[in-house]
Amino acid sequence: MIINNTISTSAARHFYNWWASWQTWVDYSESRARKRALDLLAPASGQRILNAGVGTGQTQAHLQAAVTPAGMVVGLDLSPVMLHHTRVRLHTPLCEADVRHLPFAPASFDGVFSSFVLDLLPFDDLAGLLQDFQRVLKPGGRIVLVSLTEGINAASRLSMALWKLVYRVSPIACGGCRPVQLAALVSQAGFCQIVREVVVQLGMPSEIVAATRC
Ligand SMILES: C[S@@+](CC[C@H](N)C(=O)[O-])C[C@H]1O[C@@H](n2cnc3c(N)ncnc32)[C@H](O)[C@@H]1O
């Protein structure tokens, strides 16, 4: 089930400004999915990558090391405090913007990576966002998305049932995140070679969707 209502943009900025100091804690339940997603993106030397919703920059460091020396990774985020944490971590191009309004020319990137961001945006915004990811990707470019998703075994189904109970009472207590399933939307947006995997870590299910701009 997809819960459409989520927190407002200003509430998200406020929440993630506050949450930035705690972001590394969720590594215990998200790190494996992020690592698998980075493997599926397979960034290569010389490439230009967009890291949409860069957070505190953990994935940015990995991506930047992979594209060095000639490539570039742009980390984009709504939260200035998240961007500050990334800036402290490493010297890298950063952009304060809303992922739904990408300030980049068409065909600017070889890859788009976004982990645990689309699951906090209004469902109605996702089709347009995926079209915009297509726009900024070069033909043949790769997109890899990681999101909280529905459970696939007893533990992850239970954790998502509890999560959704909390979410119904207070979306902000969940950072606006609720389980989504994005593969069909990615297909409808016109991407090719779609791969979907679900990784469960400490009972938390994460969906990875990788695809290519046709
Ligand atoms: C759950 S954190 C994930 C951070 C990072 N991608 C990771 O996997 O650790 C969500 C991030 O998305 C950012 N964010 C939320 N809404 C956004 C929007 N509309 N545009 C850009 N970034 C947004 C938040 O500021 C936060 O850094």
Which of 21, 25, 117 to mutate to test ligand 1, by most ligand atoms within 8 A of the CB atom? 117
Decide yes or no: CATH 3.10.129.10 for domain 9-212: no
Q: How many angstroms is it from 53 CA to the middle of ligand 1?
A: 4
Average pLDDT over residues 88-100: 97
Q: Report whether the peptide linkage leading into residue 171 is cis, meaning its omega lies within 30 degrees of zero.
A: no
Site residues for ligand 1, CB cut-off 6 Å? 9, 12, 16, 23, 34, 53, 55, 58, 77-79, 82, 98-100, 115-117, 120, 175
Confidence of residue 3 (pLDDT cuts 50, 70, 90): low
pLDDT(106) > 70: yes
Q: Whose CA is nearest to atom 26 of ligand 1?
A: 55
Stronger pLDDT, 117 or 2, i.e. the higher one? 117
The model carries a pTM of 0.96
Which of 21, 77, 178 to mutate to test ligand 1, by most ligand atoms within 8 A of the CB atom? 77
pLDDT at position 1, please? 43
Confidence of residue 119 (pLDDT cuts 50, 70, 90): very high
pLDDT(169) > 50: yes
List for the chain the helix, strand, coil content (%; round to 5).
45, 25, 30
Q: What is the share, in percent, of the chain residues with pLDDT greater than 90?
A: 93
